[in-house]
A and B are shown apart, each in its own frame.
Chain A
Amino acid sequence: MLLTYIARRTLIGVIQLFCLVIAVFFLIRLLPADPVSRLVGLNSSEEAYIQAASQLGLDRPLFEQLGIYLGFYPDISPGLLQGSLGVSWTTSSTVGSEIAIFLPVTLQLITLAFILAFALSVPVGMLGALHPGKAADKGVFVYSLFAGSQPEFWWGLLFVYIFYFQLGVAPAPLGQLSPMTFPPDPVTGFMLIDTLIAWELGKFIEALHHLMMPVITLAFILSGPIIKMVRQNMVRALQSDFVLYANLVGLPRKRVARYALRAAMGPSMTLIGILYGFMLSGAVLIESVFSLGGIGQYAIRSVLAFDYPAIQGVVLIITAISLVVYLLLDLLHATIDPRIAY
Chain B
Amino acid sequence: MSEFLHDVLMKKPIYVPPKRKTDWLMRIGVTIVTVVCLLAVFGPYIGPYDPTRTTIRIAEPPPGILEIPGLLAEWIGGTVDHPPHWMGTDANGYDIFSRVIAAPRTDLRIALFANLVSLTVGVFFGLVAGYWRNWSTELIVRISDVVQSFPVFILAMVLVALAGRSATNIIIALAFVYTPIYLRLTRAEVLSQTSRGFVEAARAMGNSELSIALRHVLPNSLTPALIQSSVTIGFAILLTAGLSFVGAGVRPPTPEWGLMISTGANQIVLGEWWPSVFPGLAISLTVFGFAVLGNALERRYEKG
Query: Is A303 a contact of B268 with CB atoms below 8 Å?
Result: no
CB of B107, distance to nearest CB on chain A (Å) = 11
Query: Is B151 a contact of A281 with CB atoms below 8 Å?
Result: yes
Selecting from A108-116, A177-185, A310-318, the interface stretch reads: A310-318
CB of B175, distance to nearest CB on chain A (Å) = 15
- Per-residue CB contact flags for chain A residues 30-45 toward chain B (1 = under 8 Å, else 0) read 0111000000000000
Residues of B within 8 A of A318 (CB): 151, 154
Q: Is the CB of B66 closer than 8 A to any CB of chain A?
A: no
> Could you tell me the distance between the alpha carbons of A67 and B241 in the complex, rounded to whole angstroms?
37
Query: Is B246 a contact of A288 with CB atoms below 8 Å?
Result: yes
CB of A157, distance to nearest CB on chain B (Å) = 5
Query: Is A244 a contact of B10 with CB atoms below 8 Å?
Result: yes
Query: Is B246 a contact of A132 with CB atoms below 8 Å?
Result: no
Q: A157-B261, A303-B248 are in contact. Are A151 and B268 (CB under 8 A)?
A: no
Chain B residue nearest to A164 in the complex (CB)? B269
CB of B250, distance to nearest CB on chain A (Å) = 15
Q: Is the CB of B6 closer than 8 A to any CB of chain A?
A: yes
Query: Is A284 a contact of B287 with CB atoms below 8 Å?
Result: no
Chain B residue nearest to A284 in the complex (CB)? B153
Residues of A within 8 A of B12 (CB): 132
Q: A133-B18, A146-B288, A304-B247 are in contact. Are A16 and B149 (CB under 8 A)?
A: yes
B 112-171 contacts with A by CB, 8 A:
142, 145-147, 149-155, 157-159, 161-164
Q: Is the CB of B280 closer than 8 A to any CB of chain A?
A: yes
| The one of A151, A155, A311 that contacts B287, using a Cβ cutoff of 8 Å | A151
> Could you tell me the distance between the alpha carbons of A238 and B10 in the complex, rounded to whole angstroms?
10
Q: Is the CB of B271 closer than 8 A to any CB of chain A?
A: yes
Q: Is the CB of A214 closer than 8 A to any CB of chain B?
A: no
Query: Is A138 a contact of B18 with CB atoms below 8 Å?
Result: yes
Query: Is A278 a contact of B152 with CB atoms below 8 Å?
Result: yes
| The one of A137, A146, A172, A243 that contacts B18, using a Cβ cutoff of 8 Å | A137
CB within 8 Å: A-B pair count: 170
Interface size, B (range): 35 or more
Residues of B within 8 A of A28 (CB): 158, 162
Chain A residue nearest to B291 in the complex (CB)? A149
Query: Is A238 a contact of B13 with CB atoms below 8 Å?
Result: yes
Query: Is A165 a contact of B152 with CB atoms below 8 Å?
Result: no
Q: Is the CB of A54 closer than 8 A to any CB of chain B?
A: no
Query: Is B288 a contact of A32 with CB atoms below 8 Å?
Result: no
Q: A239-B13, A319-B149 are in contact. Are A244 and B271 (CB under 8 A)?
A: no
Residues of B within 8 A of A199 (CB): none
Residues of A within 8 A of B5 (CB): 244
- Per-residue CB contact flags for chain A residues 237-275 toward chain B (1 = under 8 Å, else 0) read 011010110011000000000000000000000000000
Q: Is the CB of A187 closer than 8 A to any CB of chain B?
A: no
Selecting from A19-27, A68-76, A91-99, A117-125, the interface stretch reads: A19-27
> Could you tell me the distance between the alpha carbons of A288 and B152 in the complex, rounded to whole angstroms?
17
> Could you tell me the distance between the alpha carbons of A73 and B265 in the complex, rounded to whole angstroms?
46
B 257-286 contacts with A by CB, 8 A:
258, 261, 264-265, 268-271, 273, 276-277, 280, 283-284
> Could you tell me the distance between the alpha carbons of A21 and B163 in the complex, rounded to whole angstroms?
19
Residues of B within 8 A of A138 (CB): 18
Q: Is the CB of B245 closer than 8 A to any CB of chain A?
A: yes
> Could you tell me the distance between the alpha carbons of A300 and B261 in the complex, rounded to whole angstroms?
18
Query: Is B284 a contact of A315 with CB atoms below 8 Å?
Result: no
| The one of B14, B150, B287 that contacts A149, using a Cβ cutoff of 8 Å | B287
Query: Is B158 a contact of A19 with CB atoms below 8 Å?
Result: no
Q: A149-B291, A172-B269 are in contact. Are A304 and B241 (CB under 8 A)?
A: no
A 280-328 contacts with B by CB, 8 A:
280-282, 284-285, 288-289, 296, 299-300, 303-304, 306, 311, 314-315, 318-319, 322-323
Query: Is B146 a contact of A150 with CB atoms below 8 Å?
Result: no
Query: Is B9 a contact of A303 with CB atoms below 8 Å?
Result: no
Chain A residue nearest to B257 in the complex (CB)? A151
Q: Is the CB of B301 closer than 8 A to any CB of chain A?
A: no
Residues of B within 8 A of A311 (CB): 154, 158
Query: Is B284 a contact of A31 with CB atoms below 8 Å?
Result: no
Q: Is the CB of B234 closer than 8 A to any CB of chain A?
A: yes
> Could you tell me the distance between the alpha carbons of A20 and B63 in the complex, rounded to whole angstroms?
52
Query: Is A315 a contact of B280 with CB atoms below 8 Å?
Result: no
A-B contact pairs, 27 of them (CB 8 A): A27-B158, A33-B163, A132-B18, A133-B16, A142-B25, A145-B292, A146-B288, A149-B287, A149-B291, A151-B242, A153-B245, A153-B261, A157-B261, A158-B276, A160-B269, A165-B268, A165-B273, A243-B13, A244-B6, A281-B153, A282-B151, A303-B162, A304-B247, A304-B248, A314-B154, A315-B154, A315-B158
Residues on B close to A: CB < 8 A? 2, 5-6, 9-10, 12-18, 25, 142, 145-147, 149-155, 157-159, 161-164, 234-235, 238, 241-242, 245-248, 258, 261, 264-265, 268-271, 273, 276-277, 280, 283-284, 287-288, 290-292, 295
Residues on A close to B: CB < 8 A? 16, 19-20, 23-24, 27-28, 31-33, 132-133, 137-138, 142, 145-146, 148-151, 153-155, 157-158, 160-161, 164-165, 172-173, 235, 238-239, 241, 243-244, 247-248, 277-278, 280-282, 284-285, 288-289, 296, 299-300, 303-304, 306, 311, 314-315, 318-319, 322-323
Q: Top 6 A-B pairs ranked by shortest CB distance?
A: A154-B280, A281-B151, A31-B162, A33-B162, A149-B291, A149-B287
Q: A19-B142, A284-B153, A303-B154 are in contact. List 18 more A-B contacts (CB 8 A).
A: A20-B146, A24-B150, A27-B158, A146-B288, A149-B238, A151-B280, A151-B284, A153-B242, A157-B261, A161-B273, A244-B5, A277-B151, A282-B151, A303-B157, A306-B161, A315-B150, A319-B151, A322-B151
